[in-house]
Structure 1
Amino acid sequence: MLPSPWAHLTTIKFASMETMQLLFFLAIFCSEIHLISSLTDPRDAAALQSLKDSWKNTPPGWTTSEDPCGSPWEGITCNSSRVTALGLSTMGLQGKLSGDIGGLTQLRSLDLSYNPGLTGSLSPRLGDLQNLNILILAGCGFSGSIPDELGNLAELSFLALNSNNFTGIIPASFGKLSKLYWLDLADNKLTGSLPISTSNTPGLDLLLNAKHFHFNKNQLSGTISPKLFRSEMVLIHVLFDGNKFTGSIPSTLGLVQTLEVLRLDRNALTGNTPSNLNNLTNINELHLAHNNLTGPLPNLTDMNTLNYVDLSNNSFDPSEAPLWFSTLPSLTTLLVEYGSLQGPFPQKLFSFPQIQQVKLRNNAFNNTLNMSDSIGPQLELVDLMDNQISSVTLGSGYTKTLILVGNPVCDTGLSNTNYCQIQEQTTKPYSTSLANCGSKSCPLDQKLSPQSCDCAYPYQGTLYFRAPSFRELSNVTLFHTLEMSLWVKLDLTPGSVFLDNPFFNIDDYLQVQLALFPPIGKYFNRSEIQRIGFDFSNQTYKPPRIFGPYFFIASPYPFPGIHEGTSISSGGIIGISIGCSLLVLGLVGLGIYAILQKKRADKAIGCKPFGSWAPSGTDSGNAPVLKGARWFPYDELKKCTHNFSESNEIGSGGYGKVYRGMLSDGQVIAIKRAQQGSMQGGLQFKTEIELLSRVHHKNLVGLVGFCFEQGEQILVYEFMPNGSLRDSLSG
């Protein structure tokens, strides 16, 4: 242990250091200043910090750490130090998607779906994400044009920008996305024509790996170029409905024999339907309604897998029912309303085993309608309103809905029957049963779980099925199948799915309200919401095939607020803030006091004694480890030798001179002062005094201390009053 005054100085110095360290730590804690750990690449950390600063309602974990990979932020996936996935579906985010997103250069998946509070235009820097494989921004509030730079994402396979407010054209650069299989731009405000490649520019016709062209519900116009389709394509869903396309249906469409769903309805298409559409033998949904198509009714004889066909509201040539009305055994729904069909009604149509609905109102069928026998077991509705049917033959096999209003037969014997009256819906659309829960009710912001009959906060939204192959909305078996597929494929508790209010909307989509309940407690956690949202937005969840292609729009999820559970009240937060502030102020005062004390000590000794053992600064500057010796200030040794006067000199040699001195406590010492030219290096001097302090023998003088400052190297020994060893030997 070093005695005073060195011990006093050391105590002040170390106390000052410890105080400052404590001050710094607590200041960090109270002011929530966090240093970025090296576990996250600095570029990624900076990009995410910028996103956090530009968004509201980020997950709580984003505010407790500034190391997205080391102290994982919710929704962030890392590989080593790089961020590879960012998924924040249904988090209630608000703000803009800033250009700093382009700094996440190793990002492979970006899912911000179902955050309608994310608005503004997309940054062109999204095109810098060269490793991006999945980009999902469905159900947000983005606007402006779609950046051409997205065409630079060579690894992209899944692109969902549907259900936003995008305007402008579809970028021709999308034609460079050779790995793309899912392209969903539906439900925006896009205009212009579909881009086709030229000798200088790419186009959608180059997307030979694409399986999904979802461009429905926009304002796209112009003709559908014959160059858009080719036989090498593997498209299964072509959804162009709800636009402003003109011209004829290109015959090249018949070359894409992988097609399963084709929706060209609600456009302004004209001309004849191509005869080679009949080559699309894998088609199960065909929608050509609400156009201006002319010529003969299309021949669909070879479409043996066709379930649903709608040719309504066109201008086809007047004709009798085509042969395929009686030859397609898989048909479930036939719609040709406001058409030009005439002649006798084909009785065989009613006998198909899968047939559910036949809607042929406003045509010119005449003569006798025969429904006396061979009625399909699933037939629920026959609507022949406003035709020319003069008589009806009914058997006992059909007891469901038959609408004959506006036919001559209603002017005679059937005028008082239900068939000739406007009929209201007699069957209630399906809704998940809560009968087992009795009369139990919940607060307005909660719902009753059909599985546990407990009140909880479900994950809610709307399922939109774009081309279901059925029309019957009271089919319990069908909707039970949907419920089961949801809880199984989304890894939920059996029975935790609630379906309600299914109906066909103005776009002819089947719209169903959905509520998913947490397995335990009242809430899903954030990770579960992100997972379920991604399963919907990335189409990981596949409904039963009969429901066809779909999309989902989630409602904001009511995560527990600050008033819930163990969260701190606003008064508590204020109290903690005041307490932390006072603590910081107190520690600042203590730190200033310690610094002033240290400065006084430094001033008293003239310099820092151990700050320069090595001139290069490579040494730590720590005090030497001594046993029984201490450090002497130069001024103290100067005083006790009367300024190293000749009268105090008791010897000399090659090293320097030796002086006699007396300390303030009366101890007599011998002071060996090195002369210029004989001084060692600082580290060597430090090593020497450490060794000398350990040498203790009755025949050797002991080291009392040393001085190493102001350019001096001085050793202080015990004083030997009888002279040197030489004096004793020479007698």
Structure 2
Amino acid sequence: MISQARMFALKVIMATSLCCFVLSVGAQDTDPSEVGALRAIRSRLVDPNKYLNWSKGDPCKSNWTGVLCFYGPLDDGHLHVQEILLLNTNLSGSLAPEIGQLSYMRILDFMWNQLSGNIPKEIGNIKSLELMLLSGNKFSGSLPEEFGFLPNLSRIQIDSNNLSGPLPKSFANLTEMRHIHLNNNSISGQIPPELYVLPKLVHILLDNNNLSGYLPEEFSMLPALEILQLDNNNFSGSQIPASYGNMSRLLKLSLRNCSLQGPVPDLSKIPGLGYLDLSWNSLSGTIPSNRLSNNITTIILSNNQLNGTISRNFSGLPILQILSLENNLLTGSVPSNVWQNMTFNGTQRLILDFENNSLTSISGIPSPPANVTIMLKGNPACGNANTLNISQFCGFQDGEFTSLESLTNSSSSCPSQACPTDQSYEYVPTNPISCRCAAPIRVGYRMKSPGFSDFLPYMDPLERFLANGLQLNRSQLYMDSFAWENGPRLRLYIKLYPDNSSIFNVSEILRIRDLFTGWHIPHNDVFGPFELLNFTLLGPYAYVIPASQKSGLSRGSLAGILIGTIVGTITLSAAISLLIKRRGAGYRHTPSRKRLLSRVQMKVDGVKGFNYKEMSLATNNFSDSAQVGQGGYGKVYKGILADGTVVAIKRAQEDSLQGSKEFFTELELLSRLHHRNLVSLVGYCDEANEQVNTVHHQSGMLSSIVDSRMGDYPSDCLEKFAELALKCCQHESEARPSITEVVRELEMIMHMISESDVTPSDTNTSFSSGVFTPVSSSSMPTGSASMISSSITSTITSTNGSDPISRGVSSTIVPR
């Protein structure tokens, strides 16, 4: 039978084998070609705000700003870049062609910067790319044909740039494409009719370009198309194909100011049509008499050459907000049943604009409810306004919906001094009675093609929709303001508040950000496509940066590696067991400085045991931006726990790890030390090859904890004390004194003081003006001693006596 010592040796070797496997996986670096590509990209970028930290370390392991990687290596053994998220970071310069070497990237997001030059055609080499997001820059030149050969691309969003040239016909190859957003550029030429083959295409936004030619009739065969928005182009002489009336999924058709001619097509067969704008064209003939969908909110046919009468089938449309027919050649009377068959709630309005036609009267009794605005100026009927009792409709009318509004915060009755607004905290406005103070996430959000004209009736539904999409409670979301912009587009400013706490934890921030940047919020027919303008993290969130995503290893790969490791470990263990039996030799364990997976079961009274994930989330994966200090033992990070507690987290570096028993002994000792100038131990983590202890974070100046009475003692004693303190603060461990040497020096200083003839009452030495002058410093470093000798402990007794060393801590330190 194998002895207990031999069994222990066997377990150690098995654990070491498994540990080596884990370390071999975790020690991988970013693919060298991708590192080179990122450095080339950085060399072309101008970063006036010094936002990027792309100069040090490994991109994936060092959390380069905006670079998100797969959590683990892929099949080639390297880490790979999955996303570049540099939204609204005030970058200028250009994109380097080496960006095409990021062959595993899924999301490319440089939206709302000032990048210029051509968009590199080499992006067409990134076959994994799903989202190409370059809106709001100054890119020029043509769209490369190479972009049409990205098999996974589902969204190309390069609006609000200076692009020119034609749309590539190769886009017809993008079988995963759902969103083509290229509005607000100078793209010219014919829209490729070949795009009709795209089976998943939902949105075509090409408004505000220089497109010409004809409207492709083939678009009526797009099976998933919901929005066709082509305003402000020049399809001179072209007609709207009658087949557009067969687009069964269409929700919005906007062809404003496109130089179109011919009749208005019959769109009554489109069951979900909610928004129709054909204004500012040269359309002629009569308005189709067939009734449109009950989902219609907006009908704008103004500024054309339409004749005939106003159809009575405009009546009874339950959510209609605007019917605009001004500046046409319409005759006859205005049918009053347009508004008589509608039911209005408190915020719902209906605008009927019939100005500048040839209308002669209003049928029925002209007494609409207050929610209805009728505009008849410029019609013959207004010549008989008094007779017809319609004078109120013939003057100036407010034909605009609310276009700009800052919503009222109802928490003004809460005490202002109780919520630190200078640190970006504020009272939660959705629950003013409780006066709960919290730090919000600020989000700029824009609807690019909303399906309504009046936002007020849709404000509450939008808030509920976003709260559900973000997996938040309704009370956590507050609409701060909104503004209509040219397009029309709707800009929103939203604040998100933590639930029942003062701040979000890091994992929740990153989860919410990912929902916005990855377009994971579910699609909505009425609200249409959106874009993220800003995701602003202030105050307690200022240090948070995106973290890497989960592993790209397939389940099969993981299973294969795991099985292989287990088999190899069993084989190795069997061989070692046989060797031990044959030799019959005893085994003496030599402690390794690396942590072994077998460890002492720890439980320290009053101290919480954290897992590694909690520590990682609290420090944003131990990011450099959260680091506040470093020594020979390891690094100190500022962290925020899930409950909002701000802590200092000291993480041992690999060559400073202690044995489990030693670590446990240190924790027990630290848990018993209590003093106003000592930070208290909050918790620890001893899993995943880690030794981490967590203490309350205290910020302040060094002078705030130095005893003012130190000026009452001889200057030579103070010099020696300062000299000892400086030695203890040396960065290199070899230069720092041992605990034994510190005790010896302190005892010598205490002896000098006791032998001194100078007493506190008669000395004129000043701490601030004498030999030793305190230096104003940054926050006091916190943490436990780097090493506690197993042969020395300290007995520290609180006293009210004058004490030059630790402000109330007894100077008696007894070695055992």
How high is the TM-score relative to the length of structure 2?
0.57
Counterpart-to-counterpart distance in 1, 2:181 and 2:234: 18
Is 1:121–2:109 an aligned residue pair? Answer: no
Counterpart-to-counterpart distance in 1, 2:38 and 2:380: 74
Query: Does the Cα contact within 8 Å between 2:728 and 2:736 map onto a contact in 1?
Result: no
Alignment of 1:249-648 (within 5 A): 249-270=215-236, 271-317=238-284, 319-324=285-290, 326-372=291-337, 374-377=340-343, 380-393=350-363, 394=365, 398-399=369-370, 400-414=372-386, 417-424=391-398, 434-435=409-410, 438=413, 443=421, 447-453=426-432, 454-475=436-457, 478-519=458-499, 523-524=503-504, 527-542=507-522, 544-554=524-534, 556-560=536-540, 566=697, 579=726, 583=730
442-451 or 284-293: bigger deviation: 442-451
Counterpart-to-counterpart distance in 1, 2:78 and 2:122: 15
Deviation at 1:570, TM superposition (A): 8.4
What is the one-letter code of the residue matched to 1:145?
N
Query: Does the Cα contact within 8 Å between 1:450 and 1:496 map onto a contact in 2?
Result: no
Query: Does the Cα contact within 8 Å between 1:77 and 1:83 map onto a contact in 2?
Result: no
Q: Measured at CA, do residues 107 and 141 of structure 1 come closer, stay the same or move farther in structure 2, by a change above 3 Å?
A: farther
Q: Measured at CA, do residues 514 and 425 of structure 1 come closer, stay the same or move farther in structure 2, by a change above 3 Å?
A: farther
The CA deviation string for residues 169-190 of structure 1, in whole angstroms up to 9 with x for no partner, is: 1111011112222221112221
Deviation at 1:416, TM superposition (A): 7.3
What is the one-letter code of the residue matched to 1:547?
F
282-291 or 523-532: bigger deviation: 523-532
Counterpart-to-counterpart distance in 2, 1:572 and 1:175: 64
144-153 or 293-302: bigger deviation: 293-302
The counterpart of 1:223, out of the listed 180, 187, 190, is 190
What is the one-letter code of the residue matched to 1:185?
I
The counterpart of 2:199, out of the listed 225, 233, 253, is 233
| Structure of larger gyration radius | 1
The CA deviation string for residues 98-134 of structure 1, in whole angstroms up to 9 with x for no partner, is: xxxxx99753621414232233211222211222233
SS of the aligned residue for 1:305 comes to coil
SS of the aligned residue for 2:445 comes to strand
Counterpart-to-counterpart distance in 2, 1:276 and 1:392: 35
Counterpart-to-counterpart distance in 1, 2:519 and 2:471: 15
Deviation at 1:213, TM superposition (A): 1.1
Counterpart-to-counterpart distance in 2, 1:432 and 1:77: 36
Counterpart-to-counterpart distance in 2, 1:452 and 1:59: 38
The CA deviation string for residues 496-525 of structure 1, in whole angstroms up to 9 with x for no partner, is: 212144343112112222222233555545
SS of the aligned residue for 1:410 comes to helix
Counterpart-to-counterpart distance in 2, 1:474 and 1:289: 24
Counterpart-to-counterpart distance in 1, 2:118 and 2:391: 57
Q: Measured at CA, do residues 525 and 169 of structure 1 come closer, stay the same or move farther in structure 2, by a change above 3 Å?
A: farther
Counterpart-to-counterpart distance in 2, 1:237 and 1:390: 41
Counterpart-to-counterpart distance in 1, 2:408 and 2:736: 68
Counterpart-to-counterpart distance in 2, 1:119 and 1:570: 39
Query: Does the Cα contact within 8 Å between 1:39 and 1:69 map onto a contact in 2?
Result: no
SS of the aligned residue for 1:173 comes to helix
Q: Measured at CA, do residues 121 and 531 of structure 1 come closer, stay the same or move farther in structure 2, by a change above 3 Å?
A: farther
Counterpart-to-counterpart distance in 1, 2:126 and 2:235: 34
Query: Does the Cα contact within 8 Å between 2:51 and 2:89 map onto a contact in 1?
Result: no
Counterpart-to-counterpart distance in 1, 2:38 and 2:102: 17
Query: Does the Cα contact within 8 Å between 1:119 and 1:140 map onto a contact in 2?
Result: yes
Query: Does the Cα contact within 8 Å between 2:239 and 2:262 map onto a contact in 1?
Result: yes
SS of the aligned residue for 1:533 comes to helix
Deviation at 1:388, TM superposition (A): 1.9
* Residue of structure 2 equivalent to 1:178: 151
Query: Does the Cα contact within 8 Å between 1:113 and 1:537 map onto a contact in 2?
Result: no
Q: Measured at CA, do residues 256 and 267 of structure 1 come closer, stay the same or move farther in structure 2, by a change above 3 Å?
A: same
What is the one-letter code of the residue matched to 1:236?
V
SS of the aligned residue for 1:337 comes to coil
The counterpart of 2:27, out of the listed 12, 22, 39, is 39
Query: Does the Cα contact within 8 Å between 1:450 and 1:497 map onto a contact in 2?
Result: no
Counterpart-to-counterpart distance in 2, 1:211 and 1:70: 33
Q: Measured at CA, do residues 438 and 350 of structure 1 come closer, stay the same or move farther in structure 2, by a change above 3 Å?
A: farther
SS of the aligned residue for 2:153 comes to coil
SS of the aligned residue for 2:243 comes to helix
* Residue of structure 2 equivalent to 1:204: 171
Deviation at 1:568, TM superposition (A): 5.5
- Number of residue pairs matched by the alignment: 524
Deviation at 1:569, TM superposition (A): 6.2
* Residue of structure 2 equivalent to 1:631: none
Q: Which runs of 5+ in 2 are unaligned?
A: 1-23, 544-627, 629-637, 639-645, 647-696, 707-721, 739-816
SS of the aligned residue for 1:510 comes to strand
SS of the aligned residue for 1:546 comes to coil
Q: Measured at CA, do residues 495 and 585 of structure 1 come closer, stay the same or move farther in structure 2, by a change above 3 Å?
A: closer
What is the one-letter code of the residue matched to 1:240?
L
SS of the aligned residue for 2:208 comes to coil
Counterpart-to-counterpart distance in 2, 1:113 and 1:131: 18
Query: Does the Cα contact within 8 Å between 1:169 and 1:190 map onto a contact in 2?
Result: yes
Counterpart-to-counterpart distance in 1, 2:162 and 2:393: 43
What is the one-letter code of the residue matched to 1:41?
D
* Residue of structure 2 equivalent to 1:82: 73
Counterpart-to-counterpart distance in 2, 1:376 and 1:467: 26
The CA deviation string for residues 165-220 of structure 1, in whole angstroms up to 9 with x for no partner, is: 22211111011112222221112221111112xxxxxx212212211111111111
SS of the aligned residue for 1:545 comes to coil
293-302 or 453-462: bigger deviation: 453-462
Q: Measured at CA, do residues 262 and 69 of structure 1 come closer, stay the same or move farther in structure 2, by a change above 3 Å?
A: closer
Query: Does the Cα contact within 8 Å between 1:481 and 1:544 map onto a contact in 2?
Result: no
Counterpart-to-counterpart distance in 1, 2:727 and 2:118: 48
The CA deviation string for residues 626-668 of structure 1, in whole angstroms up to 9 with x for no partner, is: xxxxxxxxxxxxxxxxxxxxxxxxxxxxxxxxxxxxxxxxxxx
Query: Does the Cα contact within 8 Å between 1:74 and 1:527 map onto a contact in 2?
Result: no
Counterpart-to-counterpart distance in 2, 1:524 and 1:259: 38
Counterpart-to-counterpart distance in 1, 2:249 and 2:233: 24
Query: Does the Cα contact within 8 Å between 2:331 and 2:359 map onto a contact in 1?
Result: yes
302-311 or 488-497: bigger deviation: 488-497
The CA deviation string for residues 428-454 of structure 1, in whole angstroms up to 9 with x for no partner, is: 677766446647667476554223444
Counterpart-to-counterpart distance in 2, 1:289 and 1:520: 48
Query: RMSD of the alignment, in Å?
Result: 4.2
SS of the aligned residue for 2:196 comes to coil
Q: Measured at CA, do residues 248 and 586 of structure 1 come closer, stay the same or move farther in structure 2, by a change above 3 Å?
A: closer
Deviation at 1:283, TM superposition (A): 0.6
Deviation at 1:260, TM superposition (A): 0.7
Query: Does the Cα contact within 8 Å between 2:31 and 2:80 map onto a contact in 1?
Result: no
The CA deviation string for residues 51-103 of structure 1, in whole angstroms up to 9 with x for no partner, is: 9998766699x99x95777787887766575399xxxxxxxxxxxxxxxxxx9
Query: Does the Cα contact within 8 Å between 1:138 and 1:537 map onto a contact in 2?
Result: no
- Report percent identity of matched pairs: 25
What is the one-letter code of the residue matched to 2:385?
G
Query: Does the Cα contact within 8 Å between 2:233 and 2:258 map onto a contact in 1?
Result: yes
Query: Does the Cα contact within 8 Å between 2:60 and 2:80 map onto a contact in 1?
Result: no
